[in-house]
Amino acid sequence: MKLFEYEAKEILSKYGIPTPTGGLITSPKQARETAERIKSPVVVKAQVLVAGRGKAGGILFASSPAEAELSSSKLLSSKIKGIKVQSVLVEEQLSISKELYFSITVDRSNRSYVAIASSEGGVEIEEIAAATPEKIIKVLVDPLYGFRSYHARQIAKKLGYVGSQMRELAAIFLKLYRVAMDCDAELCEMNPIVETSEGKFVAADARLIIDDNALYRQSNFHGRLTKIDGDKLTSQELEAQKSGLAYVKLDGNIGVIGNGAGLVMATLDAIKLYGGNPANFLDVGGGASSDKMAAALNLVLSDHRVDVVFINILGGITRCDEVAKGILEAKNRIGFVKPLVIRLVGTNEREGRRILTEAGIPILDSMEEAAEKAVGIAKVGG
Amino acid sequence: MGIFVNASTKAIVQGITGTQGSFHTRLMLDYGTQIVAGVTPGKGGKKVHNVPVYDAVEEALQKHEADTSIIFVPAPFAADAAFEALESGLKTIVIITEHVPVKDAVQVMARAKHQGAVVIGPNTPGIITLGGCKLGIMPVHIFKRGSVGIASRSGTLTYEIATGLSTMGLGQSTCLGLGGDPVVGLSFVEVLKEFEKDEQTKAVVLIGEIGGDAEERAASFISNKGYAKPVVAFVAGRTAPKGKRMGHAGAIIMGKAGTAQSKIDAFREANVSVAEKPSDVAKILAEKLKRRKNIFGGAESER
Give B180's contacts in chain A (Cβ within 8 Å). Answer: 261-262
* B residues 197-236 lying closer than 8 A (beta carbon) to A: 207, 209-210, 212-214, 217, 234, 236
Beta bridge partners of A381: none
pLDDT of the residue at A232: 58
- Indicate if the alpha-carbon torsion angle B286, B288, B294, B299 is positive or negative: negative
pLDDT of the residue at B161: 95
CB-side neighbour CA atoms (13 Å) of A237: 14
Question: Å from B155 to nearest chain A CA?
Answer: 7
Contact assignment for A262 to B209 by CB distance below 8 Å:
yes
Q: Are B43 and B53 in contact (CB under 8 A)?
A: yes
Give the active site residue among A6, A69, A101, A120.
A101
Q: Is B257 on the interface with A (CB under 8 A)?
A: no
Tens of pLDDT, residues A86-139: 999 999 999 999 999 999 999 999 999 999 999 999 888 888 888 898 999 999
| B90 vs B207: CA distance, rounded Å | 28
Query: What is the DSSP annotation of A354-372?
Result: HHHHHTT---BS-HHHHHH
Question: Å from A252 to nearest chain B CA?
Answer: 12
Smallest CA-to-CA distance from A193 within A180, A206, A181 is with: A206
Q: How far is Cα of residue B203 from the mean position of the Cα atoms in its chain?
A: 16
Q: Are B260 and B207 in contact (CB under 8 A)?
A: no
Q: Roughly how many angstroms between the first and final C-alpha of chain B, as a whole number? A: 13
Domains defined for chain A, CATH in brackets? 1-20+95-232 (3.30.470.20), 21-93 (3.30.1490.20), 233-380 (3.40.50.261)
- Assign A355 a pLDDT band (cuts: 50, 70, 90): very high
- Burial degree of B114 (CB within 10 A; 0-12, 13-18, 19+): exposed
Which residues of B are the active-site residues? 248
| A341 vs A322: CA distance, rounded Å | 17
| A350 vs B84: CA distance, rounded Å | 39
B41 cis-preceded (ω within 30 degrees of 0): no
- Assign A224 a pLDDT band (cuts: 50, 70, 90): low
Tens of pLDDT, residues B46-89: 999 999 999 999 999 999 999 999 999 999 999 999 999 999 99
Domains defined for chain B, CATH in brackets? 10-120 (3.40.50.720), 141-298 (3.40.50.261)
Q: Which residues of chain B have pLDDT under 70?
A: 241-257, 295-303
pLDDT of the residue at A54: 87
**A5 belongs to the catalytic site:** no
- Indicate if the alpha-carbon torsion angle B166, B153, A214, A292 is positive or negative: negative
- Burial degree of A381 (CB within 10 A; 0-12, 13-18, 19+): exposed
B122 cis-preceded (ω within 30 degrees of 0): yes
Mean pLDDT for the stretch of residues A199-224: 91
Closest-CA residue of A relative to B141 is A346
| Lowest mean per-residue pLDDT among A19-23, A59-63, A169-173, A362-366 | A362-366
Contact assignment for A105 to B241 by CB distance below 8 Å:
no
Tens of pLDDT, residues A287-308: 788 888 999 999 999 999 999 9
Give B252's contacts in chain A (Cβ within 8 Å). Answer: 116, 125-126, 129, 136
Q: Is B89 on the interface with A (CB under 8 A)?
A: no
| B90 vs B12: CA distance, rounded Å | 10
* B residues 9-28 lying closer than 8 A (beta carbon) to A: 20, 24
